[in-house]
Structure 1
Amino acid sequence: MKLTAEHVYKTIHGAPILQDVDLTLEGGTIYGFVGRNGSGKTTALLCGGCVCRGRTTEW
């Protein structure tokens, strides 16, 4: 199984948080999500979990 996201965008109060993010995850693999504080890691995971309102990306 594979999870793919393409061209993910997210803004909060007009400020871009995620811009044109592509991600492909293969089943049976463990991944780490690493980045600086405030870089959008949690927002990306929330959008991937369909928690973000108004998203237009197909997962």
Structure 2
Amino acid sequence: MASTVSDENYNAGTGVLATAWALTAAAIVVLSLRVVAKFRISKFNVDDVVMILAFVRSTCSLQ
């Protein structure tokens, strides 16, 4: 099988990192829009706080 990139030099790290950042940015946009909408219609509840805490917990991994 002929390929332009040899298997020992293949590194998917930058692609994986770019995908992770793009998905994180999309989640931030969706969560922000939801929070703004909930505040505007005066329906901000405990479930929204739990969702924000879950997002913060998942993005800020402690080691």
TM-score by length of 1: 0.26
TM-score by length of 2: 0.25
| Structure with the largest fraction of strand | 1
Tell which has more relative contact order, 1 or 2 (C-alpha 8 A, sep 6+): 1
Larger radius of gyration: 2
